[in-house]
Structure 1
Amino acid sequence: MVNSFLELSNVQWSSVVKLLPESLPKRNPRGRPTVCLRSALNGVLWVLTNDSPWAHLPARYPVYQTCHRYFLGWYQKGVLLPVLVELFGNEGAELHRLVEARMRPARWEDPYSASVAAAAVRGARRYLNLARGAILGLGRQGPSVAP
């Protein structure tokens, strides 16, 4: 797959940095060392827009485990949706909906729910390609079907 992701511009970064809770100063300096939030967010956006596995994250970003940890934290805290909407508008909200469809829940109440969710995840891949094309301004993705 061709990497068509563009890094965040200074204007985009300044509009979303205030939404990230990690941008606030730490009270206690102990714990994990901090990483550049901008590069971590760029890594998360690279994975979401390219529909690639986390392990395929290019070396210019922090290690994939770090980017994935930030992604999960932002997703669970509800920060990811405002960031995507701020950056991409309605297409960002659609991308967030597709991300939600692909997330694995902690546990299923019954097997029927699991099979319905699995079908939704399989179907979400097709719509993710269309949303990714709209976000990147590429138009329709994939080969065209001859009549």
Structure 2
Amino acid sequence: MPNFIERRRLARMLDRTAEQVADTPTPEKGWISAMRTALGMSAEQVAIRKGVSRNAVYQAERSEQDGGVSLNQMDKIAAAMGARFIYAIVPNAPIEQLKYQQALLRARSMAADQPEFASWSMDDQQDWIDDTAAQQLHDMPPDFWDNR
């Protein structure tokens, strides 16, 4: 498991990437078709540059829309059009927020294991959950992301 500093560096990188692409819609006909159309390049011209048939380019466009195109194929087609293919997984929320949500879920689940938790005042219950979530975030136990 990477150390704290490495995790923070990666979290910042992912958060910045998510911000940059947050409002980027996927083109209706897919990225291959959008790039080819923007360039004014025919499928046959892409095919020649890639060393495949025109039908292979059309098939790649269909596969992309269906979610079945390979990363390798996207990379090669992008290169044939003078572009580069970028593959990324970006978080739906800031990394720290995702971790905090998981810590809260764990704390609430752990509360069920506390004898007489239900008899505590609402303030005491909330304090216990907040403290437990903070401890979970600090410790990041190996089972942190396990379903509880």
User: TM-score with structure 1 length normalisation?
Assistant: 0.27
Max Rg structure: 2
- What is the TM-score of this pair, normalised by structure 2? 0.27
